[in-house]
Structure 1
Amino acid sequence: MVSRDSDPSGLPGTVTTAVKILIAGPFDVGKTTLVGSVSEIAPLRTEEPMTVASVGVDTPGSPAKTHTTVAMDFGRVTLSETVVLYMFGVPGQRRFWDLWRGLAEGAIGVVVLVDTRRLEASFDVLGELERHRLPFVVVVNVFPDTPHHSDEELREALDLLSETPLVKCDATDRASSRDALVTLVKHVLGPTPSAPSTQELV
């Protein structure tokens, strides 16, 4: 594993597989936080201050939110001796969705963050991903005041297929965020020669 204190441009010589994924979800769900918590390099962020122009257009889940991603977040994490993951966080607002087309090119799949305090905000994002035909996993970002719902209730509310993984995550916690990324890699790559083994990933 490459540490945060190592050369930002360096990778272990054993790395043979580079994987690109998207981090998606509605506005103010924790995408930038997740990329920042797990990235082993200083994440690239394209955040801009929110202005009065966003009133009625962008509705944050937290009144303390003052900045928003306008292009992408970028980070990197080495999942095993052979696999490195490149993360591209995409803006949640519908007005930025045209950016998804370029960022989705070459991606194996998507981590979709959802907030169960405003679950309906995720519906449009999930519909857009289905349109792009990208495999995805749904990750519930657990906030201090997140209400409890069973997996069955969440699956029904989000209309998820039985084969779509659903996991919980604390986007502020590196290990928890990493586990969510691993879930996507396992779901998409499966038992293929290029995929890391279960022992490598855990």
Structure 2
Amino acid sequence: MVSGSCELPAQRTPLSDAAETGLKIVVVGGFGVGKTTLVRSVSEIRPLNTEEVMTQAGVGVDAKTTTTVAFDFGRISLNERIVLYLFGAPGQERFWFLWDRLFSGTLGAVVLVDTRRMDDSWYAIDRLEHHGTPFVVAVNRFDDDVAHPLEEIRQALALPEHIPMIDCDARVRTSSKNVLITLVDHLRTMAIARETTP
């Protein structure tokens, strides 16, 4: 990931006693794309993560020294009763077998894309489509990448027009929050379309 620190919320709040509904969102994508960073930037609690020191299998990507080996976990309270649970999936291919179980019970997903390694996005999109999980695509803009237009990226990923795409900087809370808002809006649009279809 690029240099710079996450923009953290001013206060970490405890879960309300009135919380009764938990909604699950999964953040997926290739190795080193910024999934851990995105979860960390928006979570209202100190995220649980399963980062371990990198083995030879991951050497050479963005000077990373650690990698997620199970999942990241964060939380956002939408109101006193509804809580959003965020799960960041491991990016290394040898841990992809965990994804199918992680998708179970998922309301929707974010596919985080690094334009320098577009091929790493295919598996995430394929698995989400296989499970019928609604998703949006967020292009994490790194300092040293070429600023490809979103439409060009959409074509490269063969992504249908109805799937939302958004630029983001996973280090910045407001930017990561906008990604989640885009996903929620997409889910709402899909729900309305189902209700109005005869």
TM tier, smaller: 0.7 to 0.9
Matching residue of 2:53? 49
Amino acid corresponding to residue 108 of structure 1 in structure 2: L
> Aligned residues, how many?
184
Per-residue Cα deviation, 1:9-57 (whole angstroms, up to 9, x for no partner)? x2274x56431010000000000000011100010000110123x1xxx
Q: Any idea what SS the aligned residue of 2:41 has? A: helix
Q: Name the counterpart of 1:199.
A: none
Calculate the TM-score normalised by the size of structure 1.
Answer: 0.82
In structure 1, C-alpha distance between the alignment counterparts of 2:91 and 2:118, rounded to whole Å: 14
> What is the CA distance between 1:93 and its match in structure 2?
2.1
Query: Aligned in 2, Cα 1:5/1:160: closer, same or farther, shift over 3 Å?
Result: same
What residue in structure 2 maps to residue 31 of structure 1?
35
1:55-134 paired onto structure 2 within 5 Å: 58=58, 60-62=60-62, 64-80=63-79, 83-134=82-133
Deviating beyond 4 angstroms after TM superposition, the runs of 4 or more aligned structure 1 residues are none
User: Does 1:11 pair with 2:16?
Assistant: yes
Query: Residues of 1 paired with 2:83 and 2:131: CA distance?
Result: 24
So what's the TM-score if we normalise by structure 2? 0.84
The alpha-carbon distance between structure 1 residues 7 and 190, as it changes in their structure 2 partners (threshold 3 A), is same
Could you tell me the percent identity over the aligned residues?
A: 51
CA contact (8 A) 1:22 1:107 kept: yes
The Cα of 1:126 is off from its aligned counterpart by 1.6
Deviates more, 1:177-186 or 1:80-89: 80-89
Quickly say closer, same or farther: Cα 1:20–1:67, change in 2 above 3 A.
same
Query: CA offset at residue 178 of structure 1?
Result: 0.7
Verify the 8 A CA contact 1:136 1:184 in the aligned structure 2. yes
Paired with 2:87 and 2:73, the residues of 1 have a C-alpha distance of 5
User: What letter corresponds to residue 20 of structure 1 in structure 2?
Assistant: K
Q: 2:16–2:81: 8 Å Cα contact kept in structure 1?
A: no
Amino acid at match of 2:44: E
Q: 1:22 — aligned with what? A: 26
Counterpart amino acid of residue 144 in structure 1: D
Q: Where do 1:181-200 residues align within 5 Å?
A: 181-190=180-189
Give me the CA root mean square deviation: 2.2
The alignment partner of 1:134 has SS state of coil
In structure 1, list runs of 5 or more residues that go unmatched.
Answer: 194-202
Assess, with a 3 A threshold, how the Cα gap between structure 1 residues 151 and 12 changes in structure 2: closer, same or farther.
farther
**Counterpart in 2 of 1:177?**
176
Distance of 2:60 and 2:35 partners within structure 1: 13
What runs of 5+ residues in structure 2 fail to find an aligned partner? 1-8, 193-198
3-state SS of 1:45 partner: coil
8 Å CA contact retained: 1:20, 1:86:
yes
Deviates more, 1:147-156 or 1:105-114: 147-156
Q: Contact conserved, 1:28 with 1:60, CA < 8 A, in 2?
A: no
